């Protein structure tokens, strides 16, 4: 499908969707980030709930020394599946990072810096900037994620009937 508009930061803004397989999207992101530009795209999946939700728009920026650190959500190539993933750095070691989805029981394993494409610098939800999860609170999120508290909380949340969840979320 054709995009109606492409911003100068190479993000695609359109009512129509451009669909890419994982490798094509990885190649596109790598090429754009290599030009020191940011890349925006819509998130699919639930592994970062509640902080990054399906259909949120994330902005991925090129890596810098400050951008790759504890608690920072990053876009990376998964070491086993070779697919694009956005998860959070939960431990920093000398020659690798331990990365884990906020709503996942297990980590993604050891990820080398060269497999990290970029750092998530902005999250938009419903046309507005999501203000929580990229600041100092990310250290608390790392603790909750590593202890699997977020995942257990969502297991309990899913047991609440959908009609009740909708009422709670509206208030």
- pLDDT band for position 118 (cuts 50, 70, 90): very high
Decide: 69 and 97 in contact? Cβ < 8 Å.
no
Tell me the average pLDDT across 53-62: 92
Kindly provide the b/e burial profile for residues 73-104, where b requires at least 16 CB atoms within 10 angstroms of the residue's own CB: bbbbbbeeeeebbbbbbbeeeeeebbbbbbbb
pTM: 0.76
Helix (H, G, I), strand (E, B) or coil at 74: strand
Tell me the average pLDDT across 49-67: 85
Domain ranges of the chain: 5-170
Tell me the average pLDDT across 133-161: 78
Q: Which CATH number fits domain 5-170: 2.30.30.190, 2.60.120.620, 2.10.109.10, 1.20.1340.10?
A: 2.10.109.10
Per DSSP, the residues of 135-168 read STTHHHHHHHHHTTHHHHHHHHHHHS-HHHHHHH
Q: State the pLDDT at residue 7.
A: 44
């Amino acid at each position: 499908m054709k995009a109606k508009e492409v911003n100068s930061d190479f993000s695609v803004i359109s009512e129509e969707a451009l669909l890419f397989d994982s490798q094509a999207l990885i190649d596109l992101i790598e090429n754009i980030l290599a030009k020191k530009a940011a890349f925006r795209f819509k998130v699919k999946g639930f592994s970062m709930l509640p902080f990054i939700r399906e259909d949120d728009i994330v902005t991925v920026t090129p890596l810098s020394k400050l951008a790759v650190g504890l608690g920072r959500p990053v876009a990376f190539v998964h070491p086993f599946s070779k697919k694009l993933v956005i998860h959070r750095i939960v431990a920093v070691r000398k020659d690798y990072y331990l990365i884990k989805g906020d709503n996942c029981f297990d980590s993604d394993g050891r990820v080398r810096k060269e497999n990290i494409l970029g750092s998530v610098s902005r999250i938009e939800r419903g046309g507005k900037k999501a203000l929580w999860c990229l600041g100092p609170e990310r250290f608390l999120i790392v603790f909750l994620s590593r202890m699997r508290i977020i995942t257990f909380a969502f297991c309990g949340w899913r047991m609440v009937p959908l009609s009740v969840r909708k009422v709670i979320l509206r208030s």
